[in-house]
Structures are given as structure tokens and as C-alpha cells.
Amino acid sequence: MKIVKRILLVLLSLFFTIVYSNAQTDNLTLKIENVLKAKNARIGVAIFNSNEKDTLKINNDFHFPMQSVMKFPIALAVLSEIDKGNLSFEQKIEITPQDLLPKTWSPIKEEFPNGTTLTIEQILNYTVSESDNIGCDILLKLIGGTDSVQKFLNANHFTDISIKANEEQMHKDWNTQYQNWATPTAMNKLLIDTYNNKNQLLSKKSYDFIWKIMRETTTGSNRLKGQLP
């Protein structure tokens, strides 16, 4: 009888915990939706709890253009090639004046208007920490283009993320950016699985490096990085 009572208490406790958790999620969803009503835009939101089970999703089925967010999976694909031995952090890459495309955001171009030679590590730094568009396209060329990034994502079971165009292509045609899309949950999963290094996605050196350059980003002071406690 005592065992039955204990089991019943555990089940009741679990039930009320789930109900409370769901109520909190519903309340937060309502608050976010009320904020979004005033915005003349379609906005996607996905929030995962630390247990990765309690989730909040708003407009999750929509394919949102990634714009510079695509630089994160591109960097992961490059680091994967480094881990395989196909590339190295110290490998030097020549950047010619022809690589320095006009009218695009590029600290590399600003610092080296006549071209330069940088290591892959430096280019990754510019691309992720400073959102360098030219650095992004140079990295894509190194690994064989956007198809290689897509293969990396597919091989690691990251679905609902599409990368079809580089920065140069997007700058030529506004609508091309919509070929690079992701759902909010898909991007959350990529971020969380990378943070947890699920299935040893990266070597320790590459793992430490990606989070170092993510933390050092100079473009997020008025976004999540600057607003979170």
C-alpha cells in the first residue's frame, strides 16, 4: 500500500510539473505574440528549455531567409574539413583585388584594399566575428561551394536548412537571399547540437574555436548578445 501511495505521489508531482511547465510556455507564447502584433513583419520564434523538450514555437513552418546567419553553418562546414585534414587553420590563402567585391560589408576589404594573404583561421575570424561577406565567399570557394555546406548539414541530420547562394549572388539579386532559409527550430537545433558537440560534431580545437569567435562577435552589441543578462 505504501509503495502504491509513493507511486501515486510521484505521478501527481510529475503531472503538476508538466501542467505548470505548459502553462508557463503558453503564457510566454501569448506575451510574445502580443508584442509581434504591433510589428509589420512575419517573425519566427523558437525557444528551447534546457531539457530541449519544453519548446515554444511561433511561425515555425515558415522558411525565413538567413542572411548573415548562414555564416555559422558555413564556418561549421569549414571546421569539419579542417578536422578531416583536408584544410588547416594555418593554411594561407591569397586574397586578390578581384576578390574584393564592391558595395559589400567587408572589414577585410577595408583593411587590405589591395589584397593580402590570410590564414584560414583569420578568415574564419573575420567571417564569424565581424560578419565579413568577402571572407564568407572565400571560405565557400575553399570547400567547394554551397553544395558542400548542404552535404555537411544533411550528413549530420540537420534538416530544414537550405544554403544555395553565396554573398556575391545575393548582392546581385535581392530575391536570391530567399534561397538561403531555415526554420526557427532548425536553427535552434543546429546551435544547441553544436554547443553540446552532439556526436562529436567537431574536434575539441574546432569546438573551442567556434565558440571563441562567436563570443567575440562585434556585430551583436544591440542584439541578443547585448540584451541578454
Domain 64-219, architecture per CATH: 3-Layer(aba) Sandwich (3.40)
- Other C-beta atoms closer than 10 Å to the C-beta of 153 total 21
Residues known to be catalytic: 68, 167
pLDDT in tens, 68-79: 999 999 999 999
Domain boundaries, the chain: 2-58, 64-219
pLDDT in tens, 68-122: 999 999 999 999 999 999 999 999 999 999 999 999 999 999 999 999 999 999 9
What the block records as the C-alpha cell of 136 is 564568407
Residue 29 half-sphere exposure, CB side, CA atoms within 13 Å? 15
Single pTM value for the model: 0.85
Give CA–CA dist 26/28, Å, rounded: 5
Residue 16's Cβ-count burial label (10 Å; 0-12, 13-18, 19+) is exposed
Give the residue from 165, 150, 120 showing the smallest Cα distance to 138. Answer: 120
Per-residue pLDDT for 48 more than 80? yes
Angle at 127 between CA 192 and CA 77, to 5 degrees: 50
Give CA–CA dist 182/163, Å, rounded: 9
Q: What is the mean pLDDT of residues 161-185?
A: 97
CA distances from 54 to 25, 31, 75, 142, 161 (A): 8, 17, 29, 39, 22
